[in-house]
Amino acid sequence: MTRGELMAYLVIVAVVLLLAFAVPKPISFSTTVSYIIVGFIALVLLIIFVRTIQGNMVGRRIVFLFVGMAVILPLFMTISQPIPLSPEVKQVYDAVVALKPGSKVLVSFDYDPPSAPELQPMAETFFRLCLSRDLKIVIMGLWPQGPQQAEIAMRKTLEYPEIASKNLRYGIDYVNLGFQTGNEFVIQRMGGDFKSMFPTDLNGTAYDSLPLVRNVRNFSNIDYAFHLSAGYPGTVEWVQVAVDRYGLKMGAGNTAVQTTQMYPYLRARQLVGLLGGLNGAAEFERAADMIGKATKFMVSQSFSHIIVIAFIIIGNAAFFLGDKSRKRKQEAAGGGH
């Protein structure tokens, strides 16, 4: 470890201790202060643009710094942004509200903590919407940490006053069957018999001892399925096996990375609704009128996108204008000889 590194670590520790113990909490910028900050950042970007055209290139750390500011600062701001509702998100909402009270909804949690910022808000809103409409939820996961994410989402959902007042009971109103290894082969076997893949729930209770699923034999006993996916096994496998082979009616919530891959399934009506990334989660919160973290995060998301676009413009301007000025200089140098 160099002396410079050691100094940097000490500075970080000092800043952290300052933020943790000396700064009054929570911090919130008023709308005016928020707009002043945005204006200041825009001004600095303009200066960077001009300097870049003049040939003074920006280091990658400056880009990181701006992206970091664009993500962090809006978390303290009180400004909001309009979130238009797309047809694919409305489809999920419509499918849920069309279900009669007591209908059984299967939710498969096929993601792990790294994808939680995008998918956890979807899960929480979906649970809240289902439970507020007296639907029964059957949870499972093809990823080992999926059912644990479901537990976190369910715990949070049960704390909402309108849900807490219903005195919902585990095993009757919702059940977590846990994780099962085997990827798409699990889905395949569930098409014949759920119990063969989930002989017990997450807590080790026998399948037949759970009133909610005792009579659920296969997909034909499920009224709607919602799938949260971050990769393989994911929505593709669910569509191929559960939807196309067994006729399950299913919507999906995906990380943004794989959303474009799902649109053909949506167009072909293999999926009944699709939530794509954080934007999809925010739209779903709006559709259900249950504003949560996704809506709050969208301001940071938009700011960071603007910064990325700004630096793409700056980079391209530097490339093309710099190229022209280089040619001019070369021509001038050639003319002089």
Closest approach of Cβ 49 to other proteins, in Å?
20
Phi and psi at 253, nearest 5°, equal -120, 120
CA end-to-end distance (rounded Å), the chain: 53
Q: Between 217 and 305, name the residue whose CB sits nearer to other proteins.
A: 305
Closest approach of Cβ 8 to other proteins, in Å?
8
134, 170, 293, 315: which one binds other proteins (CB under 8 A): 293
Is 297 near other proteins (CB under 8 A)? yes
Strand 136-141 relative to strand 250-254, pairing: unpaired
The residue behind tokens 């959303």 is 259
108, 180, 235, 295: which one binds other proteins (CB under 8 A): 180
Closest approach of Cβ 255 to other proteins, in Å?
5
Measured CA to CA, the distance from residue 237 to residue 241 in angstroms comes to 6
Give a three-class secondary structure readout of 1-23.
Answer: CCHHHHHHHHHHHHHHHHHHHHC
155, 166, 214, 267: which one binds other proteins (CB under 8 A): 267
Could you please report the per-residue DSSP string of 287-298? HHT---HHHHHH
Is 146 near other proteins (CB under 8 A)? no
Nearest Cα residue to 307 out of 66, 77, 48, 73: 66
3-state secondary structure at position 168: coil
Is 62 near other proteins (CB under 8 A)? no
Torsion of CA 76, 79, 84, 85, to 10 degrees: 50
Distances (CA, A) of 273 to 100, 248, 249: 18, 13, 10
The residue behind tokens 């001038």 is 332
168, 256, 317, 321: which one binds other proteins (CB under 8 A): 256
Nearest Cα residue to 229 out of 205, 197, 194, 261: 261
Is 241 near other proteins (CB under 8 A)? yes
20, 22, 332, 333: which one binds other proteins (CB under 8 A): 20
Closest approach of Cβ 111 to other proteins, in Å?
12
Stretch of 36-44, 114-122, 162-170, 203-211 lying at the interface with other proteins (CB under 8 A):
114-122
Is 192 near other proteins (CB under 8 A)? no
Closest approach of Cβ 120 to other proteins, in Å?
8
3-state secondary structure at position 140: strand
Closest approach of Cβ 258 to other proteins, in Å?
8
- Interhelix angle 293-336/31-53, rounded to 10 degrees, is 20
Is 181 near other proteins (CB under 8 A)? yes
**Spacing of C-alpha 298 from chain mean position:** 10
39, 102, 114, 247: which one binds other proteins (CB under 8 A): 114
Please, which of residues 197-236 interact with other proteins by CB under 8 A?
A: none
Question: Where do contacts with other proteins occur on this chain (CB under 8 A)?
Answer: 1, 5, 8-9, 12, 16, 19-20, 23, 25-28, 61, 64, 67-68, 71-72, 75-76, 114-118, 144, 179-182, 184, 239-241, 243-245, 255-257, 259-260, 264-265, 267-270, 276-279, 293, 297, 300-301, 304-305, 308
